[in-house]
Structure 1
Amino acid sequence: MHMGFRWYGEGNDTISLDDIRQIPGVETIVWSLHHKQAGELWEPEEIEAEMKKITGLSEDDRKRGVTKTFNADVVESVNVHESIKTGKTLLGMSRDEALDNYIKTIENLGKAGVKVVTYNFMPVFDWLRTDMFHPSPDGSTALYYDAHKVAQLDDPQKLIDETLDGANGLTMPGWEPERLAHLGEFIEAYKGIDHEKYYENYKVFLDAVIPTCEKYDVKLAVHPDDPSFDLFGWPRVVSSKEGIQRVLDLNKSPYNGLCLCLGSFSSRRGNDPVDAVKTFMDRIHFSHVRNIKFLDEAGSFSEVGHRACEGDVDTVGIMKAYAEADYQGYIRPDHGRHLWSENTEAGRPRPGYGLYDRALGIQYLLGVWDAFKYNK
């Protein structure tokens, strides 16, 4: 198992590589080119420059005696253009053009040595929360989903505005203002697209891209819908065990796999995260392990600490399943609470992506892993 940490790049993250380097156990920096819009081609020189920052050491590092480096094996995410999801020309780009750029990007990443590319296939919105810095009982703040508020929303634009206001001037993957400025075009394009049609469009994507993944040894890993149920009448198809199995069956290549985010998967009541890990183990190329706590019968939930007893996700059972299977893929902690100096206006990180709680989460997850891996 390779422990990772998501990093948003120099000038686009409140956390430095030097900060991450001091977290015991981190091997992999999970990265992306966050200035690229969905559908754009990732050029080889851009990829090389970012990977060099991650895998190398500066002269100052060496002078300080620093020797620890990272690998850049995992990219999260290469976002999928809406024209691919709908099968329609959108924002001036056809499905074929978007697919060509995606395929070439996979080729360029594979040639550079990337092993896993994460993506999602959610309509319009990526992850969705209603409060970026919701107060927690312990004085920390956390991402929060208010099911009542979402149910009463008749205008998704209001949610877009509130989400971007909480970004603190940093990029918000899946919530790019340049793309969401065309919300009306998307709403029109999704009319008449049900779950069956969406699976059809999904298969077109996989059948087009997977051969290049196989050729350049890049594993494609889909992230479950977050939260894992339909929103605003748009179909979400990676929301349950049955939905995941159907996606894997759309293209049976082992390169068509999962970024199994256990917090996202668990946001749908009735989903069993431990069972999902055991069921899909051989197709899990990357995994996010985090915890959520349900707060009412409607399904409102808050992000909480990674410790199992803090919430409703059995993080101990999850790590036990991975350890007992001697999982050889990549894992990272996911959304953490905002702690200590991160709870000040000046210290606010990107929502969910502060330093301290994710570092604590890594130590907890590694501790559970070690307990089951080395004490059989």
Structure 2
Amino acid sequence: MIESWRWYGPFDRISLPEIAQTGATGIVTALHEIPYGEVWPRETIASRNTEITSAGFDWVVVESLPVHEKIKRGEGDLAGFFANYRQSMANLAAEGVTTICYNFMPLLDWTRTDLTAPVARGGSCLRFEAAKMAAFELYMLGRAEAEADYSAEALQKAAIWHQQATEEDKQGLLHAIMSGLPGAYDRYDIAGLKQALRGYDGLTQDDLRQNYKVFLQEIVPAAEELGIKLCVHPDDPPRDILGLPRIVSDEEDISFILSAVDSPANGLTFCTGSLGANPVNDLPRMARRFADRVHFAHLRNVRKDPDGSFEEAAHLEGDTDMPAVIAALLDENRKSGRAIPFRPDHGHELLEDAAKGTHPGYPLVGRLRGLAELRGVIAGIRHVNGWNRA
């Protein structure tokens, strides 16, 4: 497996020389400054790649080459967007970058209600609090139908939270939820979010699945020709929110996607955090089942609550059997001879992390702790099984 690190390029407060000290050899990044739907110019890709390789790294995964929201909605003439996506892939392949992570989540890339939830022995983590999310949907957005999406316990807590919340609390919640917006980091106020959501009115899970299948039919053949490995990222969280459907949340969803266009180029980013937040998912079993189509792995852990809440746990704590998942991926490495890039996904803010002001979930010390722990698990599994490095 290839140890890698997510880097936000010019937007990142962690430098490549700092990343070098973590021991990671691969960089996971994207051209975040380019608007969705536009072609990634080859010269811009080449410049970013030179910056990465000059610092002693390989650009091992693009995360992400975004899918335009009109494709997700199936809206209008999409030929130009598909053509631009294929051209961006061709430009990446021409520069030797051939693994592309992307997602098919409507509007938001990920959603949390707390960016600095306290951790028992110090530090902070990302948290999704079902009651706060229910309060946001019901009382701040005024989406009455959201009541059907939450447990009675969460709804009761939501009413109490809303009654006691200050204006500062409400703005903090809006900020946390908006932190999952992709692209150039634009953020909505409540009125703006309501307007954005109207564009998805009436979009069902079946609609989104069909739109996704069309995307795969348009893009995967080009990926095959280019030697590109596409790997979809699961929904985060793996549940419908804000009235937006989710279709990459469990084993059945993934099976549908991989069979919709049955090709090695149509693969999966195995995110143990996103998939682990869904209580129905058996991650070791899923890792074994889909291992030959896993082209990239996000390794992190979560701790779930009965009401649907969850928070980021330390990488070897939480509800997911991380060694069992890693063992399945290492076994695939051994059998296939290919090395799967992975990165320590998210991490607690520890020590001086809070003062650095990095992207939420992407601190230096917290991810370094995670990488060190994962590195130890990998070394132990290889030693016990007598497997060579791959």
Same fold, TM-score > 0.5, yes or no: yes
Query: In the alignment, what sits opposite 1:80?
Result: 67
Note closer, same or farther for the CA distance 1:161–1:81 as it changes in structure 2 (3 Å cut).
farther
Counting matched residue pairs gives 352
Question: Are the counterparts in 2 of residues 292 and 312 from structure 1 also a CA contact under 8 Å?
Answer: yes
Residue 129 (1) aligns with residue 139 (2): no
Offset, 1:357: 1.6
Amino acid at match of 1:5: W
Q: Choose from 313, 316, 321 the match for 2:323.
A: 316
Amino acid at match of 1:55: T
Question: Are the counterparts in 2 of residues 85 and 201 from structure 1 also a CA contact under 8 Å?
Answer: yes
Aligned equivalents of 2:35, 2:98: Cα separation in 1: 22
Query: In the alignment, what sits opposite 2:361?
Result: 352
Question: Are the counterparts in 2 of residues 73 and 113 from structure 1 also a CA contact under 8 Å?
Answer: no
In structure 2, runs of 5+ residues without a counterpart are: 143-166, 386-390
Equivalent residue of 1:142, what SS? strand
Offset, 1:240: 0.4
Query: In the alignment, what sits opposite 2:34?
Result: 36
Offset, 1:192: 2.0
Amino acid at match of 1:271: N
Aligned equivalents of 1:164, 1:21: Cα separation in 2: 35
Query: In the alignment, what sits opposite 1:62?
Result: none
Aligned equivalents of 1:312, 1:191: Cα separation in 2: 35
Amino acid at match of 2:80: E
For residues 237-252 of structure 1, the aligned pairs below 5 Å read: 237-252=247-262
Query: In the alignment, what sits opposite 2:4?
Result: 4
The share of aligned pairs that are identical, in percent, is 37
Which one is further off, 225-234 or 281-290? 225-234
Give the TM-score, by structure 1 length.
Answer: 0.88
Question: Are the counterparts in 1 of residues 291 and 328 from structure 2 also a CA contact under 8 Å?
Answer: no
For residues 77-226 of structure 1, the aligned pairs below 5 Å read: 77-89=64-76, 94-152=77-135, 153-154=137-138, 155=140, 162=172, 165=175, 174=182, 176-178=184-186, 183-226=193-236
Q: In the TM superposition, what whole-angstrom CA distance separates every residue of 1:198-251 from its partner, at most 9, and x where no partner exists? A: 111001101111121111111111000001111122210000000010011111
Equivalent residue of 1:340, what SS? coil
Note closer, same or farther for the CA distance 1:162–1:137 as it changes in structure 2 (3 Å cut).
same
Question: Are the counterparts in 1 of residues 112 and 180 from structure 2 also a CA contact under 8 Å?
Answer: no
Q: Choose from 326, 336, 340 the match for 2:333.
A: 326
Aligned equivalents of 1:373, 1:99: Cα separation in 2: 42
Q: How large is the RMSD of aligned CA atoms in angstroms?
A: 2.4
Which contiguous aligned blocks of 4+ residues in structure 1 show a shift greater than 6 angstroms?
A: 157-161
Equivalent residue of 1:144, what SS? strand
Question: Are the counterparts in 2 of residues 6 and 29 from structure 1 also a CA contact under 8 Å?
Answer: yes
Which one is further off, 108-117 or 182-191? 182-191
Note closer, same or farther for the CA distance 1:124–1:162 as it changes in structure 2 (3 Å cut).
farther
Query: In the alignment, what sits opposite 1:276?
Result: 286
Q: In the TM superposition, what whole-angstrom CA distance separates every residue of 1:84-105 from its partner, at most 9, and x where no partner exists? A: 001114xxxx422222211111
Aligned equivalents of 1:250, 1:52: Cα separation in 2: 36
Give the TM-score, by structure 2 length.
Answer: 0.85
Amino acid at match of 1:195: Q
Question: Are the counterparts in 2 of residues 5 and 30 from structure 1 also a CA contact under 8 Å?
Answer: yes
Amino acid at match of 2:182: G
Q: In the TM superposition, what whole-angstrom CA distance separates every residue of 1:115-144 from its partner, at most 9, and x where no partner exists? A: 201100001111100011111111101111
Offset, 1:186: 3.9
Aligned equivalents of 2:116, 2:369: Cα separation in 1: 19
